[in-house]
């Protein structure tokens, strides 16, 4: 299994958008997504989620 890490030295550089596009393009493959809590958190299903992680869950569910 190959792993990739996407980083940037700036906030809001588009990392999550790029990852969403890659995940969509590789939808026939088994992929995983991990992100620690960022600055934008949401409360969903009685739990705290990172906003981008919640968006990935919503899109790829």
Q: Which two tokens stand for residue 21?
A: 């596009």
Q: What is the pLDDT of residues 4-60, one digit of tens each?
A: 889 889 888 998 899 999 988 988 888 888 877 677 788 877 888 788 888 888 888
DSSP-derived letter for residue 29 is S
Long-range CB pairs of 20-25 (<8 Å, 24+ gap) are 20/55, 20/56, 20/59, 23/56, 23/60
In a domain, 8, yes or no: no
In a domain, 26, yes or no: yes
Looking at the structure of the chain, the number of domains it has is 1
In a domain, 5, yes or no: no
In a domain, 3, yes or no: no
Q: Which domain holds residue 55?
A: 15-60
Q: Say how far apart CA 2 and CA 12 lie, in whole Å.
A: 26
Q: Say how far apart CA 40 and CA 60 lie, in whole Å.
A: 20
47 sits in which H/E element: strand 47-50
Q: What is the pLDDT of residues 35-46, one digit of tens each?
A: 776 777 888 778
């Amino acid at each position: 299994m190959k792993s990739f890490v996407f980083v940037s030295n700036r906030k809001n550089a588009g990392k999550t958008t790029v990852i969403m596009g890659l995940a969509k393009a590789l939808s026939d493959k088994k992929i995983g997504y991990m992100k620690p809590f960022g600055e934008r958190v949401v409360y969903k299903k009685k739990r705290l989620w990172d906003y981008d992680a919640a968006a990935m869950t919503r899109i790829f569910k």
